[in-house]
Amino acid sequence: MLDFLPISKEDLQKRGIEQLDFICITGDSYVDHPTFGVAIISRVIEAEGFTVGIISQPNYKSVDDFKKLGEPKYAFFVTSGNIDSMVAHYTVAKRLRSDDAYTAGKKTGKRPDRAVIVYSNMIKKAYPDKPVIIGGLEASLRRFAHYDYWDDKVRPSILVDSNADLIVHGMGELQTVELVHRLASGEDVKSITDIRGTCYLTEPKNTPWGSVQCPDLDIVSSDMASYAKATRQQMFEQDEVVGKTLIQRQGNVMLVQNPPMRALNQDELDRVASLPYTRTYHPSYEKLGGVPAIEEVEFSITHNRGCFGACNFCSIAFHQGRKITCRSEESVLREAESFTHNPRFKGYIHDVGGPTANFRNPSCQKQIEHGLCKEKKCLAPTPCKLLVVDHSEYLGLLRKMRTIKGIKKVFIRSGIRYDYMLEDKNDDFFAELVEHHISGQLKVAPEHCSAAVLDIMGKPHIEAYKAFSKKYFNKTKSLGKEQYLVPYLMSSHPGSRISDAVELALFLKSENIRPEQVQDFYPTPGTVSTCIYFTGINPYTNEKVYVAKSKEEKAMQRALLQYYKPENRDIITKALMIANRKDLIGNSKDCLVKSVAKPIQSTSKEGNDKWQRNKKGGPRKTKRK
């Protein structure tokens, strides 16, 4: 029977471990599943022959919890969890969230704001000489001087504030393997400055020769053009083939980012997937109701990594990279078959996907030797002429999965790039996706309809969505099914004015789309769109970009996407007046909101009393003709 890694002194005693080699600290509840970064890294360390323990969500107000497993022989590995701790805590409106899906019982407050910084400093307080390596999304995306939405200012590299020794950026398995062996051999962590996919601080005199230098922290904090330039440099050097060493001065020290680590090859990715995960949360959380985040992923399969779509508002390109790597068919099918032996499995695989579900091959052959293009995207605004489109391997995998005894249905719920699908001359995948792999609705992400806004997002124009939608519903109808498209939409993205939001509302009305949920643009670290939000400059073109920042305008843009809600009438009316679109206020079928006659106040006290009651929602005495 598979077992969890030790989380207490009692667990160590049962295993006969006097001192752990490494300890991993996470801001999430302990879930031993391969969609949780700390589970992967801890199992990778274990597979290298070392002992490793887990401290999840330590009490950060004292050092006691950081000492609960004793001092490790070699080092601590620290992550805030699967998402940035500030995103975990706050909505885009900077309001505290009411629950936390990555914490047992959805309880909030179990991790601090800026968890990596807090955890790392507490470890240094408890064990001043012990190496601390930080990684995961929060550390990786904050490795350079970065605009912080919650402080509304530029913060230094997280390596400065955390006092950690190294950042592992990107997907960290190969870096971790090299690190643990070198630390165990007695090498001083301060001398480990040559591992790809890591960052360290050094005295400026030790700066590596030939590096690409980003503008200093002090400069990017106040000069918008310099911040945009730094962002462009950082994005351009993220390719494993051609990426160079990057440096950025942080006060009196120099941050050095080594070139990206190469992506795992297929055998290595298969090995990571086959490690002995228990695939669930630690049993100590059972009495609290479990960890909600496991529900969608327990019986889901991640078959690929990376995304060459590289939307500007997404951090995947800066973290996982644009190169696609995938697991072998045998590895994926083995995992699917293993589900059938789990008593909790009901026969439904929730997802076979990844960052983008229908990518299993590099976007072109050129990138293998020369790397991905710096100056252009593979799919936007139109697909590159060198793009290789092939769904046959993915389709073959899904077909075989459907035949496994005990599997009733295989769904795809990860993002599907519909523009990529449209480029496929073979319709087999399209047909079988619609027939076999949709649970009533397919989620896709057009995000907007304005060409100007979509260009700034790095997304294809709306014509691609329209073509896909038409084809999707035709195939659905031909199969006699009732299935829907659920489009993801974003309001207030940089470049979007009220007039663009009006254009989107009109598009939604014409397509009879009534989104129940709308996402306001969230300026999270490590994205091009966040750079544009802060600077008002597109770092790729140096063109100025309009950015909606006031609460009122953002509320207007959001409301326009839900134009059909009666409670939005007043704010939409105001937005339409500002956009000089009074023609859309009225009672015709083309209008977005109805015009409502202003009540006439009676000059008598009795009449005024009746009007006030009606204004407050009381019974109306007259009918509108």
pLDDT of residue 610: 42
Burial of 578 (C-beta count, 10 Å sphere; 0-12/13-18/19+): middle
Give 580-616 as a DSSP string. T-GGGBSSSTT-SB---PPPPPPSSHHHHHHHHHHHT
Which residues have C-beta within 8 Å of that of residue 129, sequence separation ≥ 6? none
Listing DSSP states for 179-208 in one string gives HHHHHHTT--GGG----TTEEEEE-GGGPP
- Predicted pLDDT of residue 597: 55
> 302-331, pLDDT tens digit by residue?
999 999 999 999 999 899 999 999 999 999
Q: Nearest Cα to 622, choosing from 600, 605, 603, 590? A: 600
Q: What is the pTM of this model?
A: 0.92
Q: What is the pLDDT of residue 598?
A: 56
Structure tokens given for 40: 């992967």
Rounded Cα distance between 511 and 503, Å, is: 12
β-pairing verdict for 304-305 and 325-326:
antiparallel
Q: Determine the Cα–Cα distance for residues 101 and 98; give it in Å rounded to an integer.
A: 10
Q: Which residues of the chain have pLDDT under 70?
A: 1-2, 596-625
Q: What's the pLDDT score for residue 516? A: 81
> b/e for 520-548, b at 16 or more Cβ within 10 A?
bbbbbbbbbbbbbbbbbbbbbeeeebebb
* Sign of the dihedral through C-alpha 160, 117, 296, 475: negative
